[in-house]
Amino acid sequence: MAQEYWVTRRKSRKGGYLYHVTYYQDGEKHTVSLGKRTKAEAIVEAKKRWQELRHPSMTLADFATGFYDEGSAWIKRQRGKKRSISQEVARSRAGHLENYILPQWGKKALRDIDAVSIEDWLMSLDLSNQSRNHIWYSLRVILKEAARARLIEGVPPVEPMGTDSKETDVLTPTEYMALFPRELDELRRIWGGLFYGAAFMTLASTGIRPGELRALQWRHYFGSVLWIEQAFKDMSGLGLPKGGYARPVAVPGRTEGVLNAWREESLFTEDDALIFYGVGPDKPLYRKKLNTAMAEALTRAKIEPKGRELTPRGFRHFYNTMVRRKMPADALRLMVGHRDSRLTDRYDHPDQEALLDQARQQRALVDKLF
C-alpha cells in the first residue's frame, strides 16, 4: 500500500523544531504544520488530520443506517465466513440501532464518539445492565467495522456493565402442579394450547436451558431421553450448548406423554424440524414469546408474580432444587451440563448411546418428582 502521508521535522522561525505533515490531495502536494514538538504527538495529530481530510463529515448515520438489515454487507460477510447470525439476532441488533444508537449518535461524526460519552449514555438508559451490554455490543460491532474501513483509529475502550444481582425465584411444588395439571384439557387452558404447555413442561421437568429448548429438533427426542447438542444464543445464533459439549437428559413419563400429544398436533414432525418452532420448521421461537406465554400462564393459574423474579430460566432452578438431593451428583451434573474435573475424567469422549443409558437410569426418579 502506498504511503498516504509523511511526518517530517522542520525548523521553527521562533527557534527549535516543529513537526509537519505532507500529503497529496487531488494531485497536489500539501505540507501543513502540526504545531507539535514531539514525534509521538505529531503522529497522533497527523492521523487525526488525515482522517478529517478523507472523511470530513462521515456521521454514524451515514455509515451505519441499515447495518443490521437482512442482506446488508456485514450480514453477508459474516455468513460467508460461516458465522451463525440468525434472523432473530439480526432483528434484535437492528432494533438497538434504530431505537437507541441512531437517536443518540446518528448525527455525530464517527471520529468524535469517545469512550466516556458512550459510558455516560449507557448509564443514562433506564435498562438492566444486561440490556445495556447488548446495546453496547451492537454499537461496538459498528465501530469495529468503521475502524476496519480506516474511518476511525479504533474502537473506544468501553468496559461492559456488571451483571445485575437479581436472584431467580423458584416455583413451589404446588405451583408446579397448578401450571402443569395432569388433565391435557386443563394444561391446554393454562398454556393456551399444547405448544407452550409441552415447551414449559419440558423446561421444568428436564432442567434444560431456554436456548437449548428452542434448538430442539425431533431427532433429539428419544421418548424417555432428550439429546442436547445445540442451543440458540442471543449473540451468535445456533451453536453448541453452554460448556461446549452434548449431553443426555431424562424425560419424565408425564412429560413424554405431553410431547407425544404435541407431536400429533404439530405442523412439522420431520426429524430435522424444530419441536418448538417460530415462523417455520427451521426458524427458532422468539425468546420474548416464551416470556409472554409464561406471564399469561401464571395469570391463568392464579400465581401472583408480583415481587418475584419468575422467568423461563427459573424452571432450571426449580429442576435443580427438586432433584439435587435425590439424584447422584455425577448424574445431575451430566444432565444439567455442569461439568467439573470429576465428570470430565469419568466421561472423557463417551459414546452417545452410553450417555443415553446413563440418563435412562434416572427415569424412575424424575417420574416420581414430576
| DSSP codes of every residue in 298-367 | HHHTT---TTS---TTHHHHHHHHHHTTTS-HHHHHHHHT---HHHHHHTSS--HHHHHHHHHTTHHHHH
pLDDT digits (tens, 9 = 90+) for 99-109: 999 999 999 98
| Cell numbers at 4, concatenated | 498516504
Could you give the 3-state DSSP secondary structure of residue 278?
A: coil
Distance (Å, whole) CA 206 – CA 215: 15
Task: Provide the pLDDT for residue 167.
Answer: 64
Task: Report the 10 Å Cβ neighbour count for 261.
Answer: 16
Residue ranges with strand state E in the chain: 5-11, 17-25, 28-36, 225-228, 231-233, 237-239, 247-250
Distance (Å, whole) CA 93 – CA 111: 22
| DSSP codes of every residue in 277-302 | BSSSTTSBPPHHHHHHHHHHHHHHTT
| Cell numbers at 330, concatenated | 455425577
Distance (Å, whole) CA 205 – CA 315: 8
| Cell numbers at 176, concatenated | 408446579
Task: Provide the pLDDT for residue 348.
Answer: 35
* Angle (nearest 5°) at CA 282 between 196 and 271: 85
Task: Provide the pLDDT for residue 49.
Answer: 72
State phi, psi for 247 to the nearest 5 degrees: -155, 160
Could you state, in chain order, the average pLDDT of each consecutive group of 10 residues for the chain (370 residues)? Answer: 72 78 74 81 78 71 89 84 74 89 93 92 88 92 88 87 70 92 96 97 92 95 92 74 83 94 96 95 90 94 88 86 69 55 36 63 71
Distance (Å, whole) CA 132 – CA 38: 40
Q: Quick one: which of 196, 206, 208 has its CA closest to 290?
A: 196
pLDDT digits (tens, 9 = 90+) for 185-229: 999 999 999 999 999 999 999 989 999 999 999 999 999 899 999
State phi, psi for 73 to the nearest 5 degrees: -60, -40
Compute the Cα dihedral for 206, 211, 212, 214 and give only its sign: positive
Type of residue numbered 311: T
Task: Provide the pLDDT for residue 1.
Answer: 42
Radius of gyration of the chain (CA): 28
